[in-house]
Amino acid sequence: MSDYWIIGDDGREYGPVPDAEIRNWIADRRVDAETRIRQGKDGPWKCASEHTDFAGLLAASLGAPEHRNAAPGPPAAGFAIAALIFGLLTLPTACCCPLTGIPGILFAILAFKQIAENPARRGGRGLAMAGLILSLLGIALFAGFQIAGVTFDGFLEGWKNGG
């Protein structure tokens, strides 16, 4: 049994880790074929699929059929969920003050960035897109209500003055 070091999704080096723990991480899909692993303290960095100790397990985990109760994809990014929530909150307040639209847009942008950095481990692109659209729609409705209010107010003022 040898100890290993890995480079996590955050780019940091972790170790020493026993091979049994890496096998558990492969089973949990926390380590995939592209995860960088080094055997021993001074060994070369290689993809997990290049390590003979893990190649068979990785192939089996990739080729295994998905269970019915398994999640359909990677977990949604927290920013994507936040973007959707803020986007939903923007619509009811669009007539007076859509302050939640701005954080909705910012969270959507952060979610897109997070998903683009690691698409295999982060999902929620649809949630982020829905949050972005709802936030923009709420802000656009607010602007439309403001323009309509000014226009209607001018119309009433002109009508009151007879002309």
CATH number of 7's domain = 3.30.1490
142 and 106 inside one domain: yes
The answer to whether position 119 is within a domain reads yes
Give me the domain span that covers residue 98.
78-160
The answer to whether position 54 is within a domain reads yes
Burial class (CB in 10 A: 0-12, 13-18, 19+), 135: buried
pLDDT, tens only, 133-144: 999 998 898 888
- Is the Cβ–Cβ distance between 155 and 139 less than 8 Å? no
pLDDT band at 62 (very low <50, low <70, confident <90, very high): low
- Is the Cβ–Cβ distance between 132 and 104 less than 8 Å? yes
83 and 132 inside one domain: yes
Which residues, 6+ apart, have CB-to-CB distance to 107 below 8 Å? 79, 80, 82, 83, 86, 128, 131
- Is pTM beyond 0.85? Reply is no
- Is the Cβ–Cβ distance between 9 and 121 less than 8 Å? yes
- Please state the domain count of the chain: 2
Q: Of 12, 36, 63, which marks where a domain is finished?
A: 63
150 and 113 inside one domain: yes
**Cα torsion 32, 17, 6, 78: sign:** positive
The answer to whether position 73 is within a domain reads no
Q: Which amino acid is at 116?
A: A
Mean pLDDT of the chain, nearest integer: 79
The answer to whether position 24 is within a domain reads yes
